[in-house]
Amino acid sequence: MRRYHDEEWGVPLYDDQKQFEFLMMEVMQCGLNWNMMIQKRDIFRKCFDAFDFDKVAAYGGEDIERIMNTDGMIKSPRKIQAVIHNARCFQEIRSEFGSFSSYIWKFTNGRTYLYMGHQKGAIPAKNGLSDLISKDLKTRGLKYMGSVTVYSHLQACGMINDHLESCFRYQELLDCSDTVLKRRDHEG
Mean pLDDT of 159-188: 83
Task: Tell me: pLDDT of 161 over 80.
Answer: yes
Whether the pLDDT of residue 184 is over 80: the answer is: no
For the stretch 72-94, pLDDT in tens is 999 999 999 999 999 999 999 99
**Is 5 among the annotated ligand-binding positions?**
yes
Q: Report the pLDDT averaged over residues 82-110.
A: 98
pLDDT over 70 for what percent of the chain?
A: 97
Judge whether 34 counts as a catalytic residue.
yes
Catalytic (active site) residue 105: no
pLDDT classification of 186: cutoffs 50, 70, 90: low
Q: Which CATH superfamily is domain 1-182 in?
A: Hypothetical protein; domain 2 (1.10.340.30)
More confident residue, 82 or 1: 82
Among residues 9, 21, 26, 59, the one annotated as catalytic is 26
Which entry of 8, 34, 172, 187 is annotated as an active-site residue? 34
- What does the pLDDT read at residue 117? 82
SS (H, E, C) the chain: CHHHHHHCCCCCCCCHHHHHHHHHHHHHHCCCCHHHHHHCHHHHHHHCHHHCHHHHHCCCHHHHHHHHCCCCCCCCHHHHHHHHHHHHHHHHHHHHHCCHHHHHHHHHCCCEEEECCHHHCCCCCCCHHHHHHHHHHHHCCCCCCCHHHHHHHHHHCCCECCCCCCCHHHHHHHHHCCEEEECCCCCC
**Is residue 163 marked as binding?**
yes
The answer to whether 172 is a known catalytic residue is no
